């Protein structure tokens, strides 16, 4: 199987299952966003999951942005 993608192979074929446990899909202002939980009740935006091109123009949800969360993960 050949994958033609710009993403690095580490992002596609993650070897450690704990990497998947850190990611969650949340909704911010009606926009679905994949985030990675951090230690200090915050999370980092990994990917925007929207099909609306206008959502990608919002700078507050760009990948790498740190969001302060008040959500209980358990």
What pLDDT is stored for residue 21 in this prediction?
A: 82
Q: What percent of the chain has pLDDT over 70?
A: 91
pLDDT at 18: 76
pLDDT given for residue 72 in this prediction: 57
Q: Average of pLDDT values for 6-12?
A: 77
| Mean pLDDT, the chain, integer | 84
User: Is the pLDDT at 13 greater than 80, yes or no?
Assistant: no
Burial 19-37 (b: 16+ CB within 10 A, else e): eeeeeeeeebeebebebeb
d(CA 59, CA 19): 26
Please check whether residue 24 is in contact with residue 35, taking contact to mean a CB–CB distance below 8 angstroms: yes
Domain boundaries, the chain: 19-68
Average pLDDT over residues 8-36: 83
């Amino acid at each position: 199987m050949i994958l033609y993608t710009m993403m690095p192979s580490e992002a596609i074929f993650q070897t450690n299952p704990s990497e998947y446990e850190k990611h969650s899909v949340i909704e911010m202002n009606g926009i679905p966003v994949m985030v990675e939980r951090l230690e200090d009740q915050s999370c980092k935006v990994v990917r925007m999951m929207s099909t609306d091109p206008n959502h990608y123009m919002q700078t507050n949800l760009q990948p790498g942005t740190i969001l302060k969360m008040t959500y209980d993960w358990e």
